Amino acid sequence: MNLTIEQLKYKFEQALMAAFGLEMAGTDPMLVPASNPKFGDYQSNAALSLTKKLGKPPREIAEAILGYLDVIEICNPPSIAGPGFINFTLKPAYLEGQLNSIQQDPRLGVPKTNQLQRAIIDFSSPNIAKEMHVGHLRSTIIGDSIARILEFQGHDVLRLNHVGDWGTQFGMLIAYLREVCPEALTTSDAIDLGDLVAFYREAKQRFDGDESFQETARQEVVKLQAGAEDTRKAWHLLCQQSRREFEIIYDLLDIHLRERGESFYNPLLPDVVKDLEDSGLLVESDGAKCVFLQGFTNKEGNPLPLIVQKSDGGYNYATTDLAALRYRIGQDGAQRIIYVTDSGQANHFAQVFQVAKRAGWIPNNVEIVHVPFGLVQGEDGKKLKTRSGETVRLRDLLDEAIIRFRGYLEEKIKEENREETEEFKSHVATVAGISAVKYADLSQNRNSNYIFSYDKMLAPIGNTAPYLLYAYARIQSISRQGNINFDELGTDAKIRLQEQTELVLAKHLLQLGDVINNVESDLLPNRLCLYLYELSEKFNQFYHQCPVLKAKEAVRISRLALCGITARTLKLGLSLLGIPVLDRM
């Protein structure tokens, strides 16, 4: 099924060419959903933008376009408003036909993209020997949602977890553990991750203030890079322990990733330096090998260097990121690479991308995108921390959401005098609690900071996951009360739109494809959240104003079919956000 807006755009372009010649082919019809329902469903101000080009008043241009615009099967006769806006109002019969055609379609009429790509999404990226904290929440959730949407659109997506599993910190940690807990370097799970994190902090303090220990740590790094058996075994054990802890979080969040840490690219770093030298970009400065950047300056106004190899021969994050970028293009065959990290890394990636482009490593058909996001803040407007001032552990944050929703749920069950099993309460609390955290994050424009509030995200009203989950559960309750299986209504269940709330709901249902296309392009999942929230609102208005089970048979069947499509749309949309639905709450 062609999306409504795409059909209208095609018809508009045909009318433009008929009215003003073939040179109008490719002209943007500037067709968008109407800002106010009184103007119809879609609006175009192309006539205003073409005034200078055609040398005619916009209203005259609009009238000429309407003379050739054949949209009789889709819309009521288009109208002209103001100086030349063209308004379109969809016909109820068209809406009915579109909805009836998608009843048996698992994709709900959303076509796959015509331009399939090999896409790589770099997200989550925790550090080995450290616990995942609230700072990893946004990258993990946003990256997963983007991956789900691109996969749904048909793209070949590689989800990469670029974990910090290499470098000076391992020499530091291994050197310290040799002194205080040597069994941790030879025996699996000799200590838990919390103790390992504490040892890491102690090792860092020691490293910062003890030159002798610094040298010992550096020697451990040399041994690690050289492949010394005991150091490599210690490194491997530490990595495995952290991975198991990460998997607990990923399983809870239903996140699927392929790990490819910094260590993977370590053998490739010398080639990065050599190729930059061969290209003439590399300059030696104070013993370090650098590329001086265009458009980045220091306090003195001089070009800023991106250090590729330090004066001691070591490498840094930029070198690894350059190696990763080259590998993803050359070996993985990526055509679109998306990095989901906090906005504080925007300059770093801008610099890395610039060097890669100047070196000729990024072909014209490859798109490199940094997807930045803001901070998670506490209700005081400051960076979210524990009362003791430490960064909040991600596991603690998720557990607290589950516990709090469990409390809300038990109060509701008590008020309604219901009997529910422990299994039911545990399942609903886990799904709703985790979903509330995910949705609260995704519903914000990722470029902004947002306030983390359990009370707001767990609320049963407003733009929250519980509100959307309740809307879905409400539809399932209709199914149970009427002993109806929405999937078995059959092709005879024709939708007929008679009431205003039915029309409003129908129009919104048919916008799903437009919204998904927009998110595929701009990588802003909050657009899908807003769509689903408004869908839930429109369904609730329909539910309260249009009886379903008590309606006459033909109307009843029509409204049941409308309920079924709404439920499937909610389920599909929430799944693209990584949120499962609940039949009962």
Residue type, 574: L
Domain at 4-90, CATH class: alpha beta
Give the model's pLDDT for residue 546. Answer: 96
Burial of 67 (0-12, 13-18, 19+ CB in 10 A): exposed
- Rounded Cα distance between 159 and 328, Å, is 12
- Asked, colleague to colleague, whether 4-90 and 265-373 share their fold, the answer is no
Torsion sign (Cα): 521, 523, 524, 527: positive
Give the model's pLDDT for residue 2. Answer: 67
- Rounded Cα distance between 439 and 457, Å, is 8
Give the model's pLDDT for residue 119. Answer: 98
Per-domain boundaries in the chain: 4-90, 168-260, 265-373
Give the model's pLDDT for residue 314. Answer: 82
Give the model's pLDDT for residue 361. Answer: 97
Give the model's pLDDT for residue 241. Answer: 86
User: In angstroms, what CA-CA distances link 404 with 88, 138, 413, 459, 501?
Assistant: 47, 21, 15, 11, 35
Pairing assessment for the beta strands 31-33 and 42-44 based on DSSP bridges: antiparallel
Q: How far is CA 269 from the centre of its chain?
A: 30
Give the model's pLDDT for residue 258. Answer: 97
Give the model's pLDDT for residue 189. Answer: 79
Which 3 state secondary structure label does DSSP give 292? strand
Q: What is the pLDDT along the chain (585 residues), one digit of tens a residue?
A: 568 989 999 999 999 999 999 888 888 999 998 888 888 999 999 999 999 999 999 999 999 999 999 999 999 999 999 899 999 999 999 999 999 999 989 999 999 998 999 999 999 999 888 889 888 999 999 999 999 999 999 999 999 999 999 888 888 999 999 999 999 899 887 887 778 888 888 999 999 999 999 999 988 888 888 888 999 999 999 898 888 889 999 999 999 999 999 999 999 999 999 999 999 999 999 899 999 999 998 888 888 999 999 888 888 899 999 999 999 999 999 999 999 999 999 999 999 999 999 999 999 999 999 999 999 998 888 888 766 667 788 999 999 999 999 999 999 999 999 999 999 999 999 999 999 999 999 999 999 999 999 999 999 999 999 999 999 999 999 999 999 988 888 767 899 999 999 999 999 999 999 999 999 999 999 999 999 999 999 999 999 999 999 999 989 999 999 999 999 999 999 999 999 999 999
Angle between helices 229-253 and 137-152 (to 10 degrees): 70
Report which of 406, 410, 454 is spatially closest to residue 426, judged by C-alpha positions. Answer: 406
Angle between helices 553-576 and 526-545 (to 10 degrees): 160
Half-sphere exposure of 473 (CA within 13 A, CB side): 15
- Rounded Cα distance between 142 and 399, Å, is 20
- CATH entry 3.40.50.300 includes domain 265-373: no
